[in-house]
């Protein structure tokens, strides 16, 4: 199937984890609503899923959020198991993704350059 099942499952996991974060279901104080699930890569055998997290906050804030998600991985996996109803729920591995913050900083720099350049 050329990975279509893994892609669909990844999108679904991304949506479900994002909802858990936004609704505040994860009680770890390091996890806040500024965290965003940018993408999920599910392995071919669906045994594990790499979840990439981004934030507008500082790098230290992002690392704390990822650490909070790592400690809550069992809870999140149990919630996914309830909601997805699949035979095997992938083991979750969380990673920091600096792309969102880097893009935001780049836009700020471009705006500063546009304001400072003579017209």
Domains identified in the chain and CATH numbers: 4-116 (3.30.300.20)
Residue 39 CA to residue 47 CA, distance in Å, equals 17
Give which of 38, 40, 41 is closest to 97, Cα–Cα: 38
Interval 73-112: pLDDT, tens? 999 999 999 998 888 899 999 999 987 777 778 888 888 8
pLDDT in the model for residue 107: 87
> If you search the block for the tokens 């392995």, which residue do you land on?
43
Per the DSSP assignment, residues forming a β-bridge with 48 are: 91
Q: How far is CA 109 from CA 8, 11, 17, 52, 65, in A?
A: 36, 32, 32, 25, 26
Token representation of residue 107: 């836009």
């Amino acid at each position: 199937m050329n990975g279509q099942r893994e892609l669909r499952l990844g999108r679904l996991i991304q949506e479900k984890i994002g909802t858990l974060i936004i609704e505040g279901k994860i009680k770890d104080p390091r996890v806040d609503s500024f965290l965003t699930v940018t993408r999920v890569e599910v392995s071919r055998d669906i045994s594990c899923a790499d979840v990439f997290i981004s934030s507008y906050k500082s790098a230290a804030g992002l690392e704390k959020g990822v650490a909070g998600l790592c400690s809550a991985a069992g809870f999140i996996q149990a919630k996914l198991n309830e909601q997805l109803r699949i035979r095997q729920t992938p083991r979750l591995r969380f990673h920091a993704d600096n792309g969102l913050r880097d893009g935001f900083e780049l836009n700020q720099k471009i705006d500063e350059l546009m304001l400072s350049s003579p017209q």
